[in-house]
Structure 1
Amino acid sequence: MALYKAASSQNLRALPLNATEKPRILYVCCERIVPGSAAATHVLEICEGLERRGYPVTLVAERGASRSGLAGQLGRYARVTLSALAKLRRADLVYFRSHFAAFPIALAAKIFGKPVIQEINGVYAEAFVTHPRFKRLKGILTSLQRLQYRWASALIAVTPQLVAWGSAEAGHARAFHVGNGANTKVFSPEGPCAERERPYAFFFGGMTRWHGVEVMLKAARSPAWPAGVELVMAGPIVDESLRTALEGASAPVTWLDRVPQAELPALIRSAVAALVPSVDPSGITAHGITPLKLFEMLACGRPVIVSDFPGMADIVRGGGCGLVVPSGAPGALAHAVARLVADPSGATAMGAAGAALIATAHSWDVRAAETAEVIRTVLGTE
């Protein structure tokens, strides 16, 4: 796959900065850029937001399918590494979406004295949930990741809990909170709504156990689930053990498989509730989770129902924009859906509060501004 360059109109130049120039950012992402995925959305939104503020950004990453064998994965890491190393000397700052495979680039940045920002999206264990084939190398890869944090000029973490964790791992306090967000031009209360025969609660995302798919299926068949309300689920099957349950689903459950991102806002706007009933089989939620879908659902003006985990539960409680239920509790989820169905005016008020909260404090443009502030701090240009 060809390497993807975000700043197509601007090349990194081997020239010193003058007082009027913005620093040249080399953004390194070892994950594959899969259109519509959370990682791709985060990376591209931040790059575009920095470019709008005048920063020349070169993104080194690859586009393509979301899955590949071990050889393909290692090949991607090698190509990203070689491309980043070729561009490193011309950069004024290197920004990493934190990844164990970025170690050679981080080491080179240290040797050349380049300022570095590491963006932390989860604790070490999350990498081995995503990449189980590397579990046997967990010890050494974790050590290499920790070194990257210690060398970094600054850390950016997506939850306050990860800020504290990252600081402890790095042994320094140069850590900043810059959370996830939503594109409020795409996800907003205004716009078309999906037309379905019955009212429905809506979930979108990969069909995995940790997204609470089994919890939602059980909730929809619980006596507490409101009569006449569908459970609509949109997203590809990631965990094959769920295929039989999803393909054989019957009323009140409808599984739509993968839905283009452009169609998601309409589906969210029409829902009586948007669901984020995550579970935690790997024990990683203590450091907070704030999935992108939460911000996108709220931005569309619908109340959300989320699991009681740090991060997303804090946002929902603080913003008065939905309901919080215990994780892994189908009955509680069903009761929460029924409560919103029974109180449409209250649900509307929650949805409006969520949309206002995202527009003012959690848009991607706000996140890009916060990232730019960290860059200025690191480079001493405040």
Structure 2
Amino acid sequence: MRQQKPLRVVVATRLFAPEVGAAAFRLKALVDGLVEQGAEVKVLTTKLPAGGPVFKPSYRLSRWPVLRDPGGYVRGYVQYLSFDVPVFFRLLLTRADVVVSEPPPTTGVAVALSSALRRRPFVYYAADVWSEAMSAMEVPAVVKKVMGTVEGAVLRRATNVLAVSDPVAVQVAKFKVPAKRIRVVGNGVDTAVFGPKGDCAAAANPYFVYTGTMSEWQGAGIFIEALREVRSKFPDAQIRFFGQGTDEDQLKTLAERLAPGAVHFGGVVPPAEAAAWIRGAAGALVSIKPGQGYDFAKPTKIYAAAGCGTPVIFAGQGDGAALVTENALGIAAAYSVTEVAKAMGALLAAPDSDGERRSNWVIKHASLQASGRLAAAEVLRTARVSTNS
């Protein structure tokens, strides 16, 4: 009997391991799942910044030069297009049974057009809905409208859409994507890294930690405002930020004005280092500014904190707040300085003793490895249906 050739999968993403970020972690988990299930994988991504760590996986990894902002990140539409335009031509020259596209939607356009020309299916991995996120940003209305139109066209054109949660699937469906083409694959963290066992950061003062993206729609400034109130009772309390984002400079200015010397910005750090800071924190801070059209999001930083056993303070409403409350992962507070300060004070006053249960919940319900395998199975199913039709 003739042995069937492995299915060829190409993943197009501006961010991939060993760079740090939820998208990079999620895509690596997908690729690991694809390789585990016998696929032949090639990743088309960007050239690492100078001095980046060495990463040599078993699968093919093709990197291309890209424009980065002053902080070294591929962030902003000029930077996105510096990846999207070349990747369109790279895809035309690459053989595949199926292509996977990661946001932003501009990358989706490059994948959709090249897939149409090569007559092959593509899968859009929807970690969020970009046009909804833009509602919280100071962006001209015409840009938001154009982005919504582009995103909708890409989602409808995709053979299948992978959504990281039911709320994201609902948002995708609003673009008139048939329900049968939307698959919820879940989301999570690498529990081998974000677990209770491992190094714990040593700090002289009690602190809260914020990890990951700092964008306008998250409104992390609420924690700095609350810290000023908290320090009236706990004068040595601090906040440590790790990550980057468009709101970072504003947060630094706010910290210098309201709590000089009490808020520290550590930049982007390796996952293991972030986990160490999370384990040593009194609480992990997560926020989504209400009423910006993004209340459906369940930030990955919730799972990272809970996986390390650290209680979460979620400032906001909607699905993120429900996730924290229903699974006893910490405290869901209204997005107000007073309520957030109360939550921070409560964790400082009473040491947490529920870390093991919290970590076990993440292992069972939010393992990135498990969601990566499920996403991989859906990608390969799409490829098989296409090759057999």
Q: Same fold (TM over 0.5)?
A: yes
1:341 aligns with 2:356: no
1:244 to 245, 250, 253: 253
Question: Which amino acid in the other structure matches residue 202 of structure 2?
Answer: E
Partner Cα separation in structure 2 for residue 118 and residue 373 of structure 1: 14
Q: 1:355 and 1:32, CA in 2 relative to 1: closer, same or farther beyond 3 A?
A: closer
Report the aligned-residue RMSD: 3.0
Partner Cα separation in structure 1 for residue 199 and residue 110 of structure 2: 47
> C-alpha displacement at 1:308, in angstroms?
3.6
Partner of residue 357, structure 1: 361
Question: Which amino acid in the other structure matches residue 279 of structure 1?
Answer: K
Q: 1:80 and 1:133, CA in 2 relative to 1: closer, same or farther beyond 3 A?
A: farther
- Listed one character per residue, the Cα deviations across residues 305-354 of structure 1 (whole Å, up to 9, x for unaligned) are 11243332232123212111112x1211111122223332xx221x3232
1:61 aligns with 2:45: yes
1:253 aligns with 2:262: yes
> C-alpha displacement at 1:62, in angstroms?
1.1
Gaps of 5+ in 2: 50-71
TM-score (norm. length: structure 1)? 0.82
Q: 1:42 and 1:226, CA in 2 relative to 1: closer, same or farther beyond 3 A?
A: farther
For structure 1, which segment, 119-128 or 75-84, has the greater mean C-alpha deviation from structure 2 after superposition?
A: 119-128
Partner Cα separation in structure 1 for residue 79 and residue 380 of structure 2: 37
Partner Cα separation in structure 2 for residue 340 and residue 320 of structure 1: 14
Question: Which amino acid in the other structure matches residue 279 of structure 2?
Answer: R
Alignment of structure 1 residues 220-239 onto 2, 5 Å: 220-222=227-229, 226-228=233-235, 230-235=237-242, 236=244, 238-239=246-247
Partner of residue 10, structure 1: none
Q: 1:130 and 1:222, CA in 2 relative to 1: closer, same or farther beyond 3 A?
A: closer
* Secondary structure in 2 matching 1:348: coil
Q: 1:54 and 1:132, CA in 2 relative to 1: closer, same or farther beyond 3 A?
A: farther
* Secondary structure in 2 matching 1:84: helix
The 8 Å contact of residues 168 and 297 in structure 2, kept in 1 or not, is answered as no
Partner of residue 283, structure 2: 273
Partner of residue 309, structure 2: 301
Give the aligned length: 356
Alignment of structure 1 residues 161-172 onto 2, 5 Å: 161-172=167-178
Partner of residue 97, structure 1: 102
Partner Cα separation in structure 1 for residue 167 and residue 138 of structure 2: 24
Partner of residue 6, structure 1: none
Partner Cα separation in structure 2 for residue 160 and residue 274 of structure 1: 24
* Secondary structure in 1 matching 2:175: helix
> C-alpha displacement at 1:368, in angstroms?
1.1
The 8 Å contact of residues 119 and 155 in structure 1, kept in 2 or not, is answered as yes
Partner Cα separation in structure 2 for residue 237 and residue 370 of structure 1: 30
2:184 to 161, 177, 181: 177
Partner of residue 22, structure 2: 38
For structure 1, which segment, 53-62 or 200-209, has the greater mean C-alpha deviation from structure 2 after superposition?
A: 200-209
Question: Which amino acid in the other structure matches residue 51 of structure 1?
Answer: V
> C-alpha displacement at 1:241, in angstroms?
3.0
Partner Cα separation in structure 2 for residue 206 and residue 241 of structure 1: 13
Partner of residue 158, structure 1: 164
* Secondary structure in 2 matching 1:36: coil
The 8 Å contact of residues 284 and 313 in structure 2, kept in 1 or not, is answered as yes
1:368 aligns with 2:372: yes
Alignment of structure 1 residues 62-211 onto 2, 5 Å: 62-63=46-47, 64=49, 65-67=72-74, 72-87=79-94, 90-101=95-106, 102-126=108-132, 128=134, 136-173=142-179, 174-211=181-218
For structure 1, which segment, 176-185 or 49-58, has the greater mean C-alpha deviation from structure 2 after superposition?
A: 49-58
Alignment of structure 1 residues 285-300 onto 2, 5 Å: 285-286=294-295, 288-300=296-308
> C-alpha displacement at 1:188, in angstroms?
0.8
> C-alpha displacement at 1:92, in angstroms?
1.1
The 8 Å contact of residues 313 and 330 in structure 2, kept in 1 or not, is answered as yes
Question: Which amino acid in the other structure matches residue 322 of structure 1?
Answer: G
Q: 1:138 and 1:336, CA in 2 relative to 1: closer, same or farther beyond 3 A?
A: closer
TM-score (norm. length: structure 2)? 0.80
For structure 1, which segment, 54-63 or 362-371, has the greater mean C-alpha deviation from structure 2 after superposition?
A: 54-63
Q: 1:208 and 1:311, CA in 2 relative to 1: closer, same or farther beyond 3 A?
A: same
Partner Cα separation in structure 2 for residue 297 and residue 257 of structure 1: 17
